[in-house]
Amino acid sequence: MLLGNHGQSRREPAGLQRPRPGALLYRPSVTGSALVRLATFNVLHGRRILDDGRPSPTAPGTATVQPLVDAVASLGADVLALQELDRFQERSGHVDQARAIAAASGAADWRYASAFHARAVPGRSWVRDRSEPGLRVYGPPGSGHDGEVPSHGVALLSRLPVLSWRARRFTAPPVALPLRVAGRRGLTVIRDHPRAALAAVLEGPRGPFTAVALHLSFVPGWNVRQLLAVRRWIADLPRPHVLLGDFNLVGAIPAATLGAAELLSPSRYSAPRPAASRPRPGWRDPARVPTFPSHRPVVQLDHVLATGLGPHRTESAWAPRTPISDHRPLVVELPL
């Protein structure tokens, strides 16, 4: 879908000031290039998590969006990818979570893509609404669909100017898997859902680049297929490319997967940058930090991967603890 525009975790670096809503974070790097702060966060629809990793009980009718808004605002991101967002779900207070976060953060532009339209029902997981197609894109007034059917999906928010948007949906895999679920003992057999991805061409301080928010399947192999499909899907968009999301792939696997694909089928650079900032080939993983589970992170499921960057090192990457979600957010600053 094309959309026109109009372990241990590292601590946040000392001395960094959080910007006021709507203010760009740009700060100079040691090489003099402007840095853009990017973040990805699987927010678990804003669910609070106790110190021992269990979800905090929420009485019916008492859910509020404020803990989610506060947790996201604390990241101070210029470009923010969010996964597992609710839109008009009873369990999260009938709120359009992406819109609430965008309003509080002062995002210049944003979009939310529904992976599926359904109501979250205790004891029944999801009750689908067959009247709505799988993919709808919502945003500021006049920029997308404005229906109120409950849904679940991903969002991409930017304080940078957005030149164009693109969205797509991935079908659900045909198998179910036993998984650990926050608040349940042992393993629970779960059938995966469709997934959505959002791409935006942004105007960075050094020129256009492409950011992608994605949430991949938890089914092994299926998530790799989706990752490679995203690479092909954005091949014609301006580089650098930055992928942000919950990949459900651990450690170095995502970067190695994309790197192997690049060797077998090199992508052409679009809108090349000046020779002084000539991009390095291949995909880089600038933030190797455990993100899951949030109360005691031991593996990295959430990633920021980049290709087409110049010869600059990553200066800051961290995964702070917040009061919400079973994932930690991943924050990185890159010269874009």
Alpha helices in the chain, H assignment, sequence order: 66-73, 97-105, 222-233, 253-264
Dihedral angle of Cα 125, 127, 128, 129, to the nearest 10 degrees: -150
Query: 0.85 cut: is pTM over it?
Result: yes
The predicted structure's pLDDT at residue 190: 81
Task: Estimate to the nearest angstrom the gap between the alpha carbon of 286 and the chain centroid.
Answer: 16
Question: Domain range for residue 245?
Answer: 2-335
All residue ranges of the chain with pLDDT < 50 are 5-22, 29-31, 271, 276
CATH code at 176? 3.60.10.10
The predicted structure's pLDDT at residue 33: 60
CA neighbours closer than 13 Å in the CB half-sphere of residue 230:
33
The predicted structure's pLDDT at residue 175: 83
Query: Can you tell me the distance from the alpha carbon of 71 to that of 45, in angstroms, rounded to the nearest whole number?
Result: 12
Question: For the chain, what is the domain count?
Answer: 1
Q: pLDDT tens for residues 178-223?
A: 777 766 777 877 889 999 999 999 999 999 999 999 999 999 999 9
